[in-house]
Structure formats: structure tokens, C-alpha cells
Amino acid sequence: MNTEALFDYLAIGHVTEDLWEDGRITAGGTVTYASLAARRLVPRVGVLTAGAPTLDLAAIFPEVEVTLLPAPTTTRFQNRYTPHGRVQYTQPCPIRLTPDALRPEHWRSRILHLAPVCDEVSPALALQAPAEAFVGVTPQGWLRRWDETGRVWAKAWEHAEAVLARADATVISIEDVAGDWQQALRWAAMARVFVVTQGAEGCTLFLNGRPFHIPAPKVVEVEPTGAGDIFAAALFVALANGNPPEAACAFANCIAAQSVTRPYREGLPRPEEIAQCSRILPNPC
């Protein structure tokens, strides 16, 4: 790919190493699933991330151009299951992604997806984005803090008002706010397009603070990992193509529903699924 070329979709955030209970380590993070899903929808996809130079970028990101800021470590996540529920631990990469990290062609991307997982993405990226860029935000990582042991806790979203005012679309999971719909409503009132995903129930779209529930197709769930990131990528692409928010959400629900019927990367959208789900859209992907 010509490094001066315009990206159709640029995902910004840390790639992660996810440690599973059986000892496996797999590549994860919003940028991983979102960029790979976007690559099935648009031809030119990039990722701006940071991590250890030992990362096998070609294996993690086939057909995606990656700008890796070298770091001593890669962000790692581990989920531990206790009698009181899931407890999450992290070892964050120390590199912060700021506007200075972007090359000129990054700024010329059609879609900029700000995808923090550990508060590593500077909010200034939203504020400095060109007016013509579509800015999509998945703020999950801005809602996390961690203690000296690495245990993850919830925190308030700093700079929410400023980021939401610039973002063309914002997506959270209802789990990101521990089911707190009042918090979701406060953010939705500040946003242009605000979407709360609800797993098998689909999503709730807020337009000018008014909610619209968009159901998801009924499927047999095998593995939900990455489904929310795939949803966000599909939504941002559909919206950037000029589709109405209701139709874009239905398309993203359709794509994400198919993703959970197969494990992990096997859930990335297939051509026949994209064709089927695109029938929902006035401007197909």
C-alpha cells in the first residue's frame, strides 16, 4: 500500500495480549477486531497502535497497514472468575497515543475510530480531527482505571462532553456502564449519534436524546468475543457511507449477530453475510 494513500478506516488504540484461563494468549483489543472487520467492508484499512516489537503484526493484521509505536511491553488483559463474578486485570503498555503520533496520511483517513482499551488514546485526537473526517468513538478504555495489582475498576469519563460533541457516532455496551441507563442517557444527550449495544437484545440508538430500540437477529451464540468491536466497525462504515442511523444500526446488528455464531476470528464477516445484511441499507457496504 502507498503510505501516502488515504485510509478508508483507521483504528487507533492498543492491540492487546489476552490471557485465557487455559493458558492461551491471543491478540485482542478493539483495534484488532474492528480493523479486521472493517477490512471486509472497505479496501484500505490502517491501525495506529503501540506494543512490543515481538508482536507478529502480519499474523495479527493481514491486509491491514499497521503503524506500531515501539514499547517495552504490549497491553495484557486477563479475566479471573470468582464466586462474586468476573474480575479483570491489566498490564497496560506505557505508550500514549497522541496527535503527534499520526502521520499526514493518518489525518486524511475517511473514518477515524478512536478505540482506547486502557485510557491510552488522547481525547485531543477527536478535537484535532479534520472536519471532513468521520469520527467514531468506542470509549470503553476511557471508563477504566486500575490499581497497583492491575485490577480494573470503573472510572468517570473525563472529557466526555468535548469528545461527544465532535464524534459523529459513539458506541458503548450497556456492560461498560454496569447497566446504568441514567449514565448512558446523560452521554446520549451530548451526542449526535449514540448507540448502546445490548448483546442478543440488539441495541438502542439515541438521536437527539430520543431512544429507538433496534432488535438483533436471533442466532445460536458460540463465542461473543469481538462482537461489539465488529458492530462498531460495521456501524461506522455504514454511517460514513451516508446511511440513516436506524438502517446502519440494523446492518451492524446483522453483521455482529453472525459473528457470535463462530469462535473468535472465524466470526469476522463473510462476503455472503455482508451481501445479505447490506440489503437493509439504502447505500450498501
pLDDT of res. 83: 73
- For residue 160, the one-letter residue type is A
Please name each of the domains of the chain with its CATH number: 1-166 (3.40.1190.20), 168-285 (3.40.1190.20)
Q: Mean pLDDT score of the chain, rounded to an integer? A: 94
Model pLDDT for residues 77-97, shown as the tens digit of each residue: 998 877 766 789 999 999 999
DSSP sequence for 76-136: EEEEEEETTEEEEEEE--S--B-GGG--HHHHT-SEEEE--SSS-B-THHHHTS-TTSEEE
pLDDT of res. 5: 54
Q: Check if the beta carbon of residue 67 is closer than 8 Å to that of residue 103.
A: yes
Q: What is the pTM of this model?
A: 0.95
Whether the per-residue pLDDT at 23 is higher than 90: the answer is no
CB atoms within 10 A of CB 263: 12
Rounded to an integer, the average pLDDT of 188-192 is: 95
Sort strands 144-146 and 75-82 into parallel, antiparallel or unpaired. unpaired
Residue the block writes with cell 495479527: 60
pLDDT of res. 223: 86
Give the cell for residue 2.
502507498
- For residue 181, the one-letter residue type is W
Whether the per-residue pLDDT at 3 is higher than 50: the answer is no
What's 200's DSSP letter? G
CB atoms within 10 A of CB 230: 27
Rounded to an integer, the average pLDDT of 276-285 is: 94
Q: What's phi and psi for 23, nearest 5 deg?
A: 95, -10
Rounded to an integer, the average pLDDT of 115-142 is: 97
Q: pLDDT > 70: what percent of the chain?
A: 98
pLDDT of res. 209: 83
Q: How confident is the model at residue 139 (pLDDT cuts 50, 70, 90)?
A: very high
Rounded to an integer, the average pLDDT of 123-129 is: 97
